[in-house]
Every structure is written in C-alpha cells, then in structure tokens.
Structure 1
C-alpha cells in the first residue's frame, strides 16, 4: 500500500510513518519540501517541484500525477472538506471524513454543542447576525477544586492585547494568523479572507490536548503549553511558534484534570465521530479549560509525543480506523520531564549559507537548502530541546535559537 501524506508540511508526519512503513510505502506532497524532508522520503513540493504558492486546491491538483492507495492529511486541509472529499473519492481516506470536518469546524454547530454539553468556552459572536454564546468567567462544570494553571514561562506565554477583551479570528484559522484585538460591539465581517468570529479574550495559559479517537471513545496521549508570539524565536502577536509537552497542572491535581479533559474529548468524539489523531486547543484559567477549537488531524505537537513517550503516532492513528485504541495512561509518563519544539522565524531577509548536514546532526529539522533565500517573517527551521523542568526546556530552546541566529548573522 502506498500512503500519501499531504498538507502544508509533512516532515514530522513522515518521520513517524517511516518508523512503521518502508521508504517505498510513503509518498509526501507538501509546500516546503525541505532538505531533510527530501533526504528521508519521496517528496513533491508545491514550492520546489511545481513552483506554486500554497493552496489546498494546489495540493489536490499536484496529486493527480502521483500514484497512491491511501491518504493522511495534515494542516490546513481540515478547513477544506471539499478538497478532502476529492482525495477520498480517489483513495482510502485515513483521516476524519469531510462530513466530520464540516461540522466540527463550523462555529454554528461547534459552539452550540459546547453550550449544550456544559463544556466551557469563551464568549463568542458568530453568524450573519452576531449571537453571543459562552459562559465567560461564571462558575462552570468541570472546575477542579483548588487547581490553578502552573506558573507561566519566562517572559510569560500569556497574551495581553492592549485595552482589548475580545479578539477577531478567521473561521478558517490556523497558526494564529490574522487574529487581532476588537470590541464586542463589532460584527464578524466577510471579506477576501472569508468569515470571522469575535471571541472573548481570556488571560490564561494557551494549551493543547492531543488525543486518539475511534468514533466512540478517545485516549489522551499528550498535553502541551503552546508557545505563542515569542520574540525569542522571531514570532509576534498571536502567531504559533512551538509547544512544550509535559505537565500543565499543579502538583496533586493531575488525575482530576486529565479525567476532566478525557470527558471533554470523549464527548467531542461521540458528537462529531472523530477518528485518528486530533488536537484540542484551550485556555487554562483558574482550573478551567476553556475550549477554543478542535484540529481534527495530525498537529504540529504530535511529534513531541513520539520523542517523549513509547507510542508511534501514525501506527496508532491507522489502527484507530479499525476501532483499536492504545492502552496508554498519560499519568504513567508525564514525570519523565519536558520536551519542547520551537519554530525559528527570520527576523530579516536572509540567505542560508551553511551546510545542512551539520544542522541535521544537531537535531534541527525542517531545514532549508544551502543558498535558499528566506524572507523576514517566514520560518527558517524547527528546534528541539529536553529539560527536567519546563523552564529548563524553554531556556534550552532559546539558547539554541540564539546560536543559530549568530551563525546566520
């Protein structure tokens, strides 16, 4: 069986797949097609092979010259169920169905379900006539008694928009792009970027829960603190730039907290018939996980699970479509430490002068080619670190970023 892995970036997904499948069984089609991606597997790149900008429709068109039997997709195809349906028409879809994507990514369906299920989320305006939904800061079911979010990382990972309590976000969101402060009296607008929602800003810890599902039940496989807008990595505003995997709760409350998150992922799984690997983004404040969205596909944080825990994500993903979920207890593994990744963005226009083999041996991934030009604000590469504490892990990421910036000049 030939498996196509496709999305804006498939390097991490391919690394996982190649632990289970042979080189001949894996085919990748993405935008970046970086040095290490082409070194490890057969890769076709919109940027390099086809000289095209990234669009999901571009991936679909490029795939027409490729031969494959099944497909696994990653970001941001979850926002384009019609494209996923066309892949499904041609091959075995090893991912959430177009019907599931249409429902779980629709604010008109998703937020009313959260309301009915008693799952906390920020106040949210959406629809042609703004309709306010959400529980705000009122007491809600599911708060763990006496539990608070852990201390934030140095420089604080909390986002503080000036004088704003609401944010405007595109419905077809991804990576924190095009998010800006607004007011609750503004209307969601339709423009060339598509539909928008207006959502209450909650000052807390940005987190994600990673889980496997089989349509009826789910298993948590990891929890992360998200790195958002970190200037140390050339990021800003609400732009995603990494994760730190490990404990995100105060000592002594892990069991209750994980059980509450499991209740939420099980409810989501049953309502939306989620299958395979999924991510759930939320803000943790005063012991309450305020749910923001579900990413119904392989997420950027998944590769940290494989670095930290004895679990092959792609193998477990495929088995979930047969109804099988791993016997995995997250609490058995989280005491081992913290694993982090950070995307390093260019702070100025630059040209890559170095031999990439050295970068690869140093554990760097998503490596550009020698001589490649990268514009300010675009990603350069991905860095990884381990630490016995969250602070040590984060500082190691910062140190590695500093070394690489000095090398690039």
Structure 2
C-alpha cells in the first residue's frame, strides 16, 4: 500500500502525517492550505463546503476527481465532514469504520441512549417533546458534527426557542429534529485519542481541549486546539471508558472520545469516529505516527502504548474580521512555524480559522504562554495592518457583491 487519498473538510494534519510515514498522498479538502500542498503529492479543492452540500456529495464526483490525479489509489481515508462516506461505490479500500458504525457513533442522541444503557456518566439529553420538562441551563448543539461553532447555552425556555431559531437561520438543516438539547455541565473539556482493531483498543493519549479560548476565538464554544498530555487523576478511568466505547460501537483505526472532567468524575460528551484535531499534539508529545498506526489497525495490529516526552500544544487562531491574506501576513504566519497556513490571495471569513500555532515544552504553563505570545504577535500585526500602520502596506478592498 503506497498511494493514499485523504478527503474531508480539513485534511492537513492527516495528509502531513501520512507523508511523514512515507506514503504518496493526495488530498481533496475545503482549504488547500499552503502546508497541505507542500505535503501532498497533488491536491484538489472540495467543491462542497457547507454541511448541507456535504450531505449531497455524490461518490461519482469523488471518483471523477480521483481519476484527475492520474495515479492508482491503494486506499481512501475519509476525514472530517465525510465520516459517513459510502464504501461500496469507492473503487479502492476505505480505511475507516463502516458507515453504519460511524453514523451511530456520531449521533449524539443515539449515543446518549447507549451510554444510559451502559451506565456510563453523560449529560442528560432531552427530546423536542420534552421542552416543558427541561431543567436549565442546557446546551444546544447539532446531533452530529459542528466543531462547537453552533453550540449555544440557554438559561430558560425563551432563550432555548430563540437559539433554535437563530441556528436554523445560520443553517437550514438545524431544526428541533437535528439538534440535541443536553444538560449543561461545568468541567474541563478533554478527550482520549484511541486506536482500535476489531478485538482490541488502545488509548494513546489523554488531551486537554481548548474550547472557546477568548484570545483565540470570539466564539464561546469553538474548538481552539489541544494540550497533550492532560494530567488528571481521572485519566485511567477516561481511558477505560473510551476503550469500552470504541469496541462497543465497533470502530476501527484512529478515533476519539470527548469528556468533561469535573469533581464528580468524567462524563462522556461525544465520540469522534475519525482522525481528531488533536492528531498534531498527540504525535508531537507521544512520539508516534498516528496515520501509520491507523493503517496498522486494519491489519489487526496495535502499537505499544507510547509515553509522553513533554507537553505539546496547538492553538487555532480564528479571525475576528474578513481578512485578505497578503504577502506580508502570510510571511508573518510562516515565521511562527505553525500549520494550516492560508495561501496568499485567499480571504478568511469573520470567525473562520486563520492558522494554527504549536508549542512543545516541558510544562503546560510554558506551552500556553508560547501560544499566547505567538497569537498576540499575529493579532497585533493584523490590527496595525487594518489601520494602515504597516509601512508600504496598501489595503485590499474585498468586494461584498
């Protein structure tokens, strides 16, 4: 097996991991960032960008794009947004769990019912028929996917109905039937990254999640990165629960389970039946190639459990305005030695992801400080650039038509 196609909404971390493992890898994704293009043998733009469009993606179009690369693929790996990609019409093996297993694991309402049956702690979920019995506050989120950008908190019924209306305006597919209403719990967002075969599961790392960090994003529940490892006395319990769940749902390869860590113990929030955003920090902190390990799972092989070599952190910076990526800004981002580097001439939408920064240090505190300093440098440059304070900079006016 040598030639791999990775397809998803954002694939840079998977593509670069595959490249480091020695594969010839092509990509179809919605960003085609500069560093993705450097890692990929060839890349193409995912023509479907919204959730609604992804649900309408025809495998015939995928096959047409595959043929345009001009190479024979040995396998295809679906990423974020394409988790439920049908396998039977793809002309090569698909290195992923079955669509049925992925569908069940991704459905937060179905997951809630299974967790209840298994006796695993989780936030209580309400159906649309239970609006009059809800105990507030609650969290409203899409039944599957989302990355936190559509999550809302409601303190009462009026706020709940208002949030449901707002979400439907943002995305017509978000209705009472396609969102989940959960008990809102306080705690530290975290995750377990796992590898699994048909018979075994291995927890590779426990990660702290950076959610809605104000200096990275204006969105209160946006995914803003990870810190690996997450040092907590609940780690072993989280690993055991996560391993039980991926085997229960018959998931294969690289998968993740999200938790909320509180004084009452860990609660399971959701399952991510795909490569996770934590891939970068897990690889850097645990000295493991996740893509190679993922491929091994389909042969029935699991690696030895790795040990942390220090702390690795990833911070995803979101833009607070519509932003044109000119040469100066792109070079500044390149100097920070991060990832997800936007190409010159592209436009980042307000509250869209701009770039990712990394830090590898001996302590968590040093890692966070390093991310904060890098973020401050980029944001200060953007502010000065927007206000015309950068020497020789000419503002680029983006048409609103």
TM-score band, normalised by shorter chain: 0.7 to 0.9
Q: Which stretch of structure 1 is more off in the superposition, 358-367 or 389-398?
A: 358-367
CA deviations over 1:74-104 (Å, ceiling 9, x no partner):
11223xx2xx115764320101110101221
Partner of 1:373 in structure 2? 347
Partner of 2:366 in structure 1? 392
Paired residues, what number? 361
Provide the secondary structure at the position in 1 that maps to 2:303: coil
Change (3 A) 1:10 1:179: same
Within 1, Cα distance between the matches of 2:33 and 2:179? Answer: 32
Change (3 A) 1:266 1:361: same
- The answer to whether structure 1 residue 227 and structure 2 residue 227 are counterparts is no
Query: Which ranges of structure 2 fall in alignment gaps of 5 or more residues?
Result: 68-72, 386-401
CA deviations over 1:219-276 (Å, ceiling 9, x no partner):
1111111111122123321111111112331xxx3xxx33322321232122211110
Provide the secondary structure at the position in 2 that maps to 1:327: coil
Within 2, Cα distance between the matches of 1:86 and 1:117? Answer: 30
Within 2, Cα distance between the matches of 1:76 and 1:248? Answer: 30
CA contact (8 A) 2:188 2:262 kept: yes
Match of 2:314 among 308, 326, 341: 341
Aligned positions of 1:212-361 closer than 5 A: 212-249=195-232, 253=233, 257-286=234-263, 288-329=265-306, 332-333=307-308, 336-354=309-327, 356=330, 359-360=333-334
Report the TM-score when normalising by structure 1: 0.80
CA contact (8 A) 1:228 1:235 kept: no
Provide the secondary structure at the position in 2 that maps to 1:233: coil
Report the TM-score when normalising by structure 2: 0.82
Partner of 2:186 in structure 1? 203
Partner of 2:399 in structure 1? none
Provide the secondary structure at the position in 1 that maps to 2:372: helix
Partner of 1:129 in structure 2? 129
CA deviations over 1:374-401 (Å, ceiling 9, x no partner):
2221111111112322222111101001
Within 2, Cα distance between the matches of 1:347 and 1:131? Answer: 34
Change (3 A) 1:112 1:349: closer
CA contact (8 A) 2:201 2:247 kept: no
Change (3 A) 1:103 1:375: closer
Partner of 1:179 in structure 2? 151
CA contact (8 A) 1:13 1:314 kept: yes
Partner of 2:11 in structure 1? 10
CA displacement at 1:66 relative to structure 2: 1.2
Aligned positions of 1:37-56 closer than 5 A: 37-46=36-45, 53-54=49-50, 55-56=53-54
- The answer to whether structure 1 residue 72 and structure 2 residue 77 are counterparts is yes
- The answer to whether structure 1 residue 116 and structure 2 residue 117 are counterparts is yes
Within 2, Cα distance between the matches of 1:172 and 1:2? Answer: 30
Query: Which ranges of structure 1 fall in alignment gaps of 5 or more residues?
Result: 137-163
Partner of 2:140 in structure 1? 168
CA displacement at 1:108 relative to structure 2: 4.5
Change (3 A) 1:220 1:86: closer
Aligned positions of 1:68-107 closer than 5 A: 68-78=73-83, 81=84, 84-86=85-87, 89-107=90-108
After superposition, the CA RMSD in angstroms is 2.7
Provide the secondary structure at the position in 1 that maps to 2:215: helix
